[in-house]
Amino acid sequence: VGLEVADSEEKFQLRVETFRAEKPWWKILLSENDLGSLEVVRPTLVLTVSSTEDTSTDDAVSLPQFNADVHEATITVYESPAANEPVIDASDLDLQLDLTDTPSGQQFGIRRLTVFENEAITPEVCNEGLQLVAPFLNDEVDVSGTVTLTLSDISIPLDGNEEEFTQRFGVKGAATFNECEVVLTNPMTRRLVDLFAELLDIGPIPERVRLADKAEVLFEARDGRVHHQSTLVLVPRLTRGFEFTSSGSVNLREEIDLLIKIRLPTELLGKGALAKLVSQTPIELAVGGTIANPVVRIPDDATWVDTLQPAITASDLHPDDQELAGELRELIELLRENKSR
């Protein structure tokens, strides 16, 4: 049994080769507002996610509500009615779809979608949106490993103007990385990592570093930016690594606004009182600029420098803490120099 559903402006087009319905066929034919639950096989879905027109008129035609388990789907998404090339063109997908009425208008939802599973990380994959989810990646970075990208919730408004669309559109998901290795190419990032290596007294860190397996980045797209939260562990040696907690957002121009908190492992800092204080004080870094050219500085509201400053400048430093204090002073000076540029 075939089925085709579309709105009057063809912003939403759904063509179904085969489907099974919870309701009997005659109830579906008589349903104006709710098709119920469906199981759909090999559908083709074409979406245009924005429009220059205000479609929030009183005489707009509403589509019937439904929810569906979908198998072997093809999804094509266009950024605007005038676009010639789609921003998303994917096939052979298993997912859940629904179309609901909300107080703000009709909303199309895509749930439980695996975009790719254990996909090799290549420059092409990074440049297709992965760099917005995980800003340490971009198409110019030498990176290897695999990634699984899942979308748990995509909400797409089918009516309203551009401002309403921006407010109501949203995407939530997660990216999980395995056997991921990244080459540190940015000079500022390289210098910071080297300084942390000196703090931990683990010797020079190789150009290629590894993330701990099953590193997960949670993300949400809203208001024209991709917001993320992640805890990543950088493993330079067969020891406990640096723990990075990253939060913030990236826009479509790859401009970043991030806060990174770094916890250094106690056992590698030393045995003095300063080492204990440093292990209890997360180092906070603000990252601006772009993904390709990040600018790292001390956040304006950071407290870790004020916490550590008296200890690293004390005249009666214990011998066990003198080397660590010198490296911390160098780190703070580097970050302050970078802010003043």
The answer to whether the predicted template modeling score (pTM) of the entire model surpasses 0.85 is no
Is residue 58 over pLDDT 60?
A: no
Residue type, 125: V
Residue-wise pLDDT tens digits, 136-150: 776 556 788 999 988
CA distances from 196 to 199, 275, 276 (A): 5, 13, 16
User: What are the pLDDT digits (tens) for 249-289?
Assistant: 988 788 999 998 888 777 777 778 888 898 888 889 998 98
What mean pLDDT comes out for the span 107-131? 82
- The two tokens of residue 154 are 């995509």
pLDDT band at 40; cut points 50, 70, 90: confident
pLDDT at 166 over 70: yes
Give the angle 200-205-206 at the CA atoms, nearest 5°.
Answer: 170
User: What is residue 75's predicted lDDT score, i.e. its pLDDT?
Assistant: 83
Question: What mean pLDDT do residues 81-95 have?
Answer: 79
The better pLDDT of the pair 276, 80 is held by: 276
Number of C-beta neighbours around residue 282 at 10 A: 17
pLDDT band at 97 (very low <50, low <70, confident <90, very high): confident
144 φ/ψ angles, rounded to the nearest 5 degrees: -135, 170
Question: Token pair for residue 127?
Answer: 């440049």
**Confidence at residue 203, expressed as pLDDT on a 0 to 100 scale:** 63
CA 62, 63, 64, 67 torsion: positive or negative?
negative
Q: What is the mean pLDDT of residues 26-33?
A: 55
Per-residue pLDDT, 100: 86
* Bridge partners (DSSP) listed for residue 208: 183
What is the pLDDT, as a whole number, of residue 146?
A: 92
Is the pLDDT confidence value at 61 over 60? Answer: no
Instruction: Give the contacts of 82 (CB within 8 A, at least 6 positions apart).
Output: none
Among 61-70, 159-168, 211-220, the range with the most confident prediction by mean pLDDT is: 211-220
Q: What is the mean pLDDT of the chain?
A: 78
Residue 10 exposed, middle or buried by CB count within 10 Å (0-12, 13-18, 19+): exposed
Average pLDDT over residues 51-79: 69
For residue range 281-306, what is the model confidence (pLDDT) as tens digits?
Answer: 888 999 898 887 888 889 988 899 99
Q: Is the pLDDT of residue 117 over 50?
A: yes
Q: What is the pLDDT of residues 199-251, one digit of tens each?
A: 666 666 667 777 777 888 999 988 778 999 987 766 655 445 567 788 999 88
**Cα separation, 310 vs 63, whole angstroms:** 66
CA distances (Å), 323 to each of 67, 74, 168, 230, in order? 63, 60, 53, 31
How far apart are alpha carbons 75 and 91 in whole angstroms?
6
CA 83 from centre of chain: 25
Say if residue 157's pLDDT is above 90.
Answer: no
- Asked whether residue 316 carries a pLDDT value surpassing 60, the answer given is yes
pLDDT at 325 over 70: yes
Q: What are phi and psi of 127, to 5 degrees?
A: -80, -5
Q: What is the pLDDT of residue 228?
A: 92
Q: Compute the distance between CA of residue 148 and CA of residue 153 in angstroms, rounded to an integer.
A: 16
Task: Work out whether the CA dihedral 290, 293, 294, 295 comes out positive or negative.
Answer: negative
Mean pLDDT of the region 160-169: 74
pLDDT of 6 above 80: no
Location of structure tokens 């103007």: 161
Q: How many helices (H) and strands (E) does the chain have?
A: 9, 15
Rounded Cα distance between 20 and 1, Å, is: 8
pLDDT of residue 108: 82
